[in-house]
Structures are given as C-alpha cells and as structure tokens.
Structure 1
Amino acid sequence: MEPTTTDSTLEQRPKQMWIRLESNPDIIHENGVDQAWNFHDIYGFDEPSMIPESTVAIIFLYPVNDISKQFRQEEKEKLISQGQDMSDNVIYFKQTIGNACGPGLFHDIVTKAEKMSIKDRAELLETNEELATVHKNAALSGQTKPRTDNSDRHYYVCFTKIDGQLYELDGSKAFPIYHGPCEDFVQATFKVLLEYIERDSKSYDFSAMALSKSN
C-alpha cells in the first residue's frame, strides 16, 4: 500500500525547471505508445456519453489560485489525519521537476518505478535524460512561445480507474487521492471535475482530454 505521506527530503532538494510544455497529444505516439491509443478533447462536462467507452484516463487542467491552494492544503491535512485505503497497484510519481506535469514517459519508466518508493521514483524522473529531451523537443516545437517565468498558473491532473476504484494522480500534491469505488469511470470522474469547477465558479480556465483506444 502506498504511504499517505511522502518523504520530506523531496521538498528540500533543489528543484529542476523544464521548459513549459504545450498540450500535444501526438507526443505519446512519437515515444512508443501504440497508435490505437489517442487523446480526445472534452468540450463539456454535462454529456459523459460523448466520451468514448474505451476511455481509461482523463487529463484535467485547472487554474492555480487562492481557492485551489486553500483546498489542496485542507485536503492534505484531512487525508494525513484520516489516511486512505488505496490499491497496491497505484503507481504515483511525486513531481519534483518544475513544469514537468505534461509528459509521463512511458512503459520503461513505469516498469522501473513499479517497486520503487516515492522518493526513488522522483529521482528516476530527475535523472532520466531521455525524458528531459522528449519534453524539451515537444516544448520547443509547440505553436506558442514557451513562457520563461517560474510562476505556476495551472496544474495537470490525471484521473484513472485502478482495481475498480477512482484515483486522482496529481504530482504536485503530497500523495494520490482516492475517490472511492466506481463502476462508470467517466461518470465518476466528471463528478469530481464538476466539484473542481463549482469550487472555483468564477474561473473559466478548465480543460480536459480523454485517453481511449480505437476499436
């Protein structure tokens, strides 16, 4: 079972900063992911039926502001106090590299990380030159010029279903978030996404993509 808290040394180490990454779904195919798997834009959260049934993950982008920061802190304190009963099959990476929340390379990294601690997984990403190169090339090939300031304006978060349970994997949080058992992955995820949006109802800077497999 994954620990609820992460090693405090992760917060103390010098932070690497990568170039900000533009959303580019094609990067997965350029790095070994089967062409049958694709990302699909989600244009609204009121019609889950529009999302492919084969969806296995949803990537959600939400704004960083006082509301989200306060919620994150309250959530962290609550979960440290109460704990979480999570599946042993959850593989979580704590993000210690600035602007690295876009890519997540891929089969070899996941395989190596499977039996590692959260601290060792962070070091695996920090020292992976291939991942750094993939990220840099993708960032420099985008249609917009990358920002150079270090201020966070958005976070990427992944939702996925593992062993019949819904998990939120946000590398900028202290640990993965368990959202309980679910039968319909998309319906259960949309419920959490709407909570994000309702909590910050004056913001309009939300977006999402679904990862699904073609028939």
Structure 2
Amino acid sequence: MNQLAQKLGLSPHVQFHDVYTLDSNPHIPRPALALLAIIPLTRAWSLTRTAEDTNNPTYAGCGPDEPVIWFKQTIGNACGSIGLLHSVINGPAAEFIIPGSKLDDIRHRAIPLSVAERADMLYHHGGFEAAHRAVEEVGDTRASEGDGHAGLHFVAFVKARGRLWELEGARGGPLDRGGLGEDEDVLSSRALELGIKRVMGGGEEGDLRFSCLALAAV
C-alpha cells in the first residue's frame, strides 16, 4: 500500500501502519488520517449493505461543496487501489498530496465531475493504471487483495467536516456514519464504534479475516 501511495504522489511523511488491535495502538502516531479496513463479505453484512443502498437515494454529489470525493469502482482487480484512493484524497490526508503528482491531478479533475464521469476519468487515467500495475509487478499484493481474495472488501473510513465517512467503490455512494469531535480521529473509540466495529458486530459464520491499516505520520 505504501509503495502505491508514494508512486501516486503521497508524501513520504505519512504512511499506512498495521493496526494490530482496535483497543490500543501506541505505535501509530495520532491523529490517524484514515482507516482502511479489509472486511469479509458475510451473508449478514451483504444483506445489510443491500438494504441500506436500496433505501438511500441515488448519489449524485459533485463539486467543491461535496464533503468527500467518492469513486464508483468500474476497474477490475482494483478494490484495494480504490480504497487507498479514498483514504488519501479525502479529509486531512489530502494535505499530504504532492503538488503536480498523479494524486493531485486525479483529485482536481474529479471534483467537478459527476459520479459516472469521475469513474470514467479514473478508468482512463494512465497514471493511476501504471502505478497500480507497477506495484502489482513488484509483489505489493495488498493493493488488489479485495478482488484477488474472494469475499473481501476494502472500506475506507475518513473524517471530513466533522463527520465520519465510509467509502467503498462497490456501494451506492459515500455513507455518513455520524459526527466526531475536534479531538476524535478515525481511531478514536467513537469512530471505531460508528465504523469498523459496527460491521464486525454484525458478523457471522466465524469469519475472522478482518484487518486494518491506519494512515498516519511516519
């Protein structure tokens, strides 16, 4: 993940750290800028997702007033790359994008576009594809793990405008999970309860393949 992030243009002053437990992670500098979770698609979670997406209005956000930038995934074998993208171009992480980089170009081009136009732009963005393929070739398999390992989804949790957002390209749009205080980041107890623990609480079938990466300073 860190190789792909830097190839796309994320500053080396931040990186993804392994989250070993949801209770205490003293090795991760705070505030954590984003949480990227790899989650098994259990039957219970699948039903919850379908019901939620069906009940929500069709997402049509675009423009500078959009609280987060969300990409509908149309690229095969790129679940992890889309999750990374959602993590680094939203919220405080965007401040660490190197000017003139691929990430900078993707972010600025995406802002005014509709959902369909944004997906098409990313699909045809040569820099994004080249970085994704280069990392795959050197063996950074976690960048595409969501599609390469059946039933796993990459879900990004970011804080933007005082809210916790859940972002996944396979959903119907970004999901507002609730408010966070000024002193609460994505690893705060409230953010974890509103986000990843909510999903884990609805698990079943003994699937324990949850894992998380936190984006934070080096």
- Answer whether TM exceeds 0.5 for this pair: yes
Partner of 2:96: none
2:154 counterpart SS class: strand
What is the alpha-carbon distance in structure 1 between the residues aligned to residue 179 and residue 110 of structure 2?
Answer: 25
- The verdict on how the C-alpha distance between 1:213 and 1:150 changes in structure 2, with shifts beyond 3 A counting, is closer
1:53 equivalent among 30, 34, 58? 30
Q: By how many angstroms is 1:143 displaced?
A: 6.5
1:197 equivalent among 196, 200, 218? 200
Partner of 1:141: 138
Contact 1:166 1:182 in 2 (8 A): yes
What is the alpha-carbon distance in structure 2 between the residues aligned to residue 133 and residue 44 of structure 1?
Answer: 34
Gap regions ≥5 residues in structure 2: 59-64, 86-101
Q: By how many angstroms is 1:207 displaced?
A: 0.5
Q: Equivalent pairs: percent with the same residue?
A: 27
Per-residue deviation, residues 125-183 of structure 1 (Å, max 9, x unmatched)? 11112211211121121166x89x97842110111011111100111101100011111
Give the letter aligned to residue 112 of structure 1.
R
Per-residue deviation, residues 58-116 of structure 1 (Å, max 9, x unmatched)? 101101232221111011123339xxxxx623111111112212223622101110111
Higher helix residue share: 2
Between structure 1 and structure 2, the one with the greater Rg is: 1
Give the letter aligned to residue 174 of structure 1.
G
Partner of 1:72: 49
Gap regions ≥5 residues in structure 1: 1-23, 82-86
Give the letter aligned to residue 132 of structure 1.
E
What is the alpha-carbon distance in structure 2 between the residues aligned to residue 33 and residue 151 of structure 1?
Answer: 26
1:94 equivalenced with 2:96 (yes/no): no
What is the alpha-carbon distance in structure 1 between the residues aligned to residue 125 and residue 67 of structure 2?
Answer: 23
What is the alpha-carbon distance in structure 1 between the residues aligned to residue 179 and residue 74 of structure 2?
Answer: 29
Partner of 1:208: 212
What is the alpha-carbon distance in structure 2 between the residues aligned to residue 102 and residue 121 of structure 1?
Answer: 18
Correspondence 1:147-166 to 2 at 5 A: 152-166=150-164
* Off by >6 Å, runs of 4+ in structure 1: none
1:129 equivalenced with 2:126 (yes/no): yes
Partner of 1:111: 108
Between 1:42-51 and 1:163-172, the stretch displaced more is: 42-51
Aligned residues: 185
TM-score by length of 1: 0.77
Per-residue deviation, residues 1-59 of structure 1 (Å, max 9, x unmatched)? xxxxxxxxxxxxxxxxxxxxxxx322212332211011110011122666421211110
RMSD: 2.5
Give the letter aligned to residue 47 of structure 1.
S
